[in-house]
A and B are shown apart, each in its own frame.
Chain A
Amino acid sequence: MNFDLAFKHWDLFAQGVWMTLHLTALSLFIGMMIAVPTAFAMLRGGIAGNVAHGYVYLFRGTPLIVQTYLLYYGLSQFEVIRDSWFWRPPSYLRKACFEDFLYWKICVADFIPSLRSAWWCAVIAFSLNSGAYVAEILRGALKNTPKGELEAARAMGLTDKQVRKLIHLPSAIRRALPQYGNEVIFMLHGSSVASVITLQDILGTGRTINAKYYVAYEGFLSAAFLYLCITYILVFLFRAVERHYLKHLNIAEPSAKRGWFGRTVAVPAR
């Protein structure tokens, strides 16, 4: 085996790492934006609650790769979508560019999600997926909030909106931290699906190098090693955050019992 290849192309791998991290972080961020209202809607019930349940049900019950395919390949079947702005922004928007914005050329059309581009499809699919998983995690945490906590907040004279924003949500997010850490790693691993729709993330770079030099191990092993490193960096970060924020709950097990790597990466709960 010849790992000089990986070192020789370290710049490609650096770009791959950047793309993976960018994609994961963006999807998690948008996912969070989706998850908070969805979780509250699920708790409250009614029509919005049913819709929210349906969304979570659909996206947690199907594989991420199929969701990505459906968006990237599936939507092109419909002429309505192919003729719309989301396929190709109109020419006046494509021409509306700032030639010398600092050093770059920036166009308005760059900020319209285009369903023709693999990048936007990946971002949308991953965000919807992550949103569903996080919503389910949040719903559990919101539901398990001790009643007394909310009653105390109301007794202090907070309005319903204030209770949700200042008490209910922050307390739930704290308790959801361990599960959220799992979801972050699940998303990081899931983002490797992006390489299937031609994006050059870590795995995409590995595949490119394998194909270019006609080797079987080097590209994939380098990719695997990079994923491994990022995973455990995230694990230790989350461990530190949990230790800080969950100190009062006394549920953070002593790391001696958990072992250095124990129980940190688990499959997301049903």
Chain B
Amino acid sequence: MKNTDRILHIVAPLAVFGALAWLLAFGVGGYTASLLKGAAITLMLAVSSLVLATVLGLLGAWAKVGGGLILRSIANVYTIIIRGVPDLVMILLIYYGGQRAVNQVATSLEYEPFDVSPFLAGFFSIGIIYGAYLTETFRGAWLGIPRGQIDAGKALGLPPMLSFRKVLMPQLLRSVLTGYANVWQVLVKSTAVVSVIGLSDLVGLADKIGKSTREPFVFLMVVMLFYLVMTIVSERGFKWLEHRSDRWAA
């Protein structure tokens, strides 16, 4: 192991973890619990919108690869428009515009309109945005599989579903992994933007507490370190997964 590698992969992560733990324990004076709650909300938002994005990505990829003209055009318009608009614009549009739309639909159907919470708006907008990116990831992975593999499954007499599960799926997972990890890393950072519509996630809380205690730097530093920890942990996790999924590969 080279010296630089050692510093990069062992010393730096330990320093980041240590600094975060120290700040949470001694630096933020009594706000530890609420900061941890905010971190939990950020995590929940990230994971739940990843689920939505995955579902949308699978649907979009299926529509692009196997759908007819109409489905294909819908999927194309979806990915083209969403990838051209910043996440912040999308979030504001869904939060304010979405509330207006809910009110209009609900009153015309004579239901009681419900409030669109910041969490819900963030969940939908981040899910929809990264669904568009994942559509491309999944489509690319599908197109990357040689057609011969499908024929081979047929030649072995496997029923279509079994062939999909045993022949195509493992290969798909393997080639999707890098792109998926990428999208996750960017998605996590995107959750910070949801604080703009008033969600009490880690960023929103740190901003509020920092302003009231007149120590904004300390609290924003906690946020920075938290996101760094997330990045480091997910990088390691995905690296392990990649390593694992490559076990059978030459």
Contact = CB atoms under 8 A, between A and B. Distances in A.
Contacts of A203: 86, 88-89, 92
B210 interface: yes
B210 A74 contact: yes
A220 B220 contact: no
Contacts of A259: 76
A196 B88 CA distance: 10
B2 to A, nearest CB: 7
Interface residues of A, number: 54
Contacts of B220: 66, 69-70, 73-74
B interface majority secondary structure = helix
Nearest to A44: B4
A interface majority secondary structure = helix
Nearest to A58: B228
A76 B118 CA distance: 29
A69 B204 CA distance: 11
A61 B84 contact: no
B94 to A, nearest CB: 9
A171 interface: no
Contact of A227 (B86, B190, B214, B217): B86
Most chain B CB within a 10 A radius of its CB, from A60, A74, A190, A217? A74
Contact of A228 (B2, B3, B85, B217): B85
A78 to B, nearest CB: 7
A45 B86 CA distance: 36
Interface in B69-108: 76, 79-81, 83-90, 92-93, 96-97, 99-100
Most chain A CB within a 10 A radius of its CB, from B80, B81, B89? B89
B88 A195 contact: yes
A261 B196 contact: no
Contacts of B83: 231, 265
8 contacts: A45-B3, A54-B12, A73-B220, A189-B87, A192-B88, A217-B93, A220-B93, A223-B89
Going nearest first, the 5 A-B pairs with the smallest beta carbon separation are A63-B192, A189-B86, A228-B84, A61-B231, A74-B217
Interface of B: 2-4, 7-8, 12, 76, 79-81, 83-90, 92-93, 96-97, 99-100, 133, 136, 140, 181-183, 185-186, 189-193, 195-196, 203, 207, 210-211, 214-218, 220-221, 223-224, 227-228, 231-232, 235
